């Protein structure tokens, strides 16, 4: 863990993730979590966060929920995982219920579509920040860069199943990393 002092309280963890859930939209959540947990509070270091992000994207379910549970578990164990999960979903749960009840009125407002476009652009920007950090970390290791490129092309352009690509690329990249780190006889 990056900050070796006393871990944050359950209430503080809940509050941070409640705020993240309340004020962020769409795919930019992992970028927001990165900024709050790694950059601002230094509760996890970049290696821990990127490991959690990778695991959260491979596991079934919503990536941000998986990432939040990972962060909470790293910070305070099972109670921390519950706090991050509940904090993240509590505000959006009530917001969706409220918005759904006034949806027909909101849909007719002239600025609603422009506001959603702005929110989408911000979310894309935050995703690109986290993606850029991942690429920076992969560049020094050729096998990581190759795995990243192959996965990107196979899923993004060739439209292969992510599960299939991960099932093939992950063992190969682990094998390559193991081979690179294995002691040589000579």
Q: Say if residue 135's pLDDT is above 90.
A: no
Mean pLDDT of 88-96: 88
Please give the model's pTM, rounded to 2 decimal places. Answer: 0.62
Quote the radius of gyration of the chain (alpha carbons, Å): 19
CA nearest to 130, candidates 3, 36, 8: 36
- Residue 168's pLDDT is 92
* pLDDT tens, position by position, 18-42: 999 888 766 678 888 999 999 999 9
**Please, which pLDDT band fits residue 106 given cuts at 50, 70 and 90?**
confident
**What residues have CB less than 8 Å from 69, skipping those under 6 apart?**
81, 84, 85
Q: Residue 40 and residue 37: Cα distance in Å, rounded?
A: 6
Residue 44 CB neighbour total at 10 angstroms = 22
**Please, which pLDDT band fits residue 178 given cuts at 50, 70 and 90?**
confident
Angle at 26 between CA 59 and CA 107, to 5 degrees: 140
């Amino acid at each position: 863990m990056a900050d070796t002092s006393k871990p944050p309280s359950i209430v503080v963890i809940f509050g941070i993730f409640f705020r993240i859930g309340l004020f962020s939209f769409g795919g930019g959540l992992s970028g927001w979590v990165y900024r709050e947990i790694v950059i601002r509070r230094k509760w996890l270091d970049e290696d821990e966060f990127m490991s959690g992000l990778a695991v959260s994207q491979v596991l079934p379910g919503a990536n941000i929920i998986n990432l939040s549970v990972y962060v909470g578990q790293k910070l305070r164990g099972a109670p921390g995982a519950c706090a991050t999960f509940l904090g993240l979903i509590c505000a959006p749960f009530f917001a969706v219920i409220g918005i759904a009840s006034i949806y027909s009125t909101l849909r007719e407002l002239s600025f609603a579509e422009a506001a959603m476009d702005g929110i989408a652009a911000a979310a894309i920007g935050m995703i690109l920040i986290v993606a850029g950090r991942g690429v920076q970390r992969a560049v020094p290791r050729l096998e990581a860069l190759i795995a990243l490129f192959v996965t990107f092309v196979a899923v993004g352009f060739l439209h292969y199943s992510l599960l299939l690509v991960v099932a093939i690329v992950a063992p190969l990249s682990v094998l390559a990393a193991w081979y690179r780190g294995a002691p040589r006889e000579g």
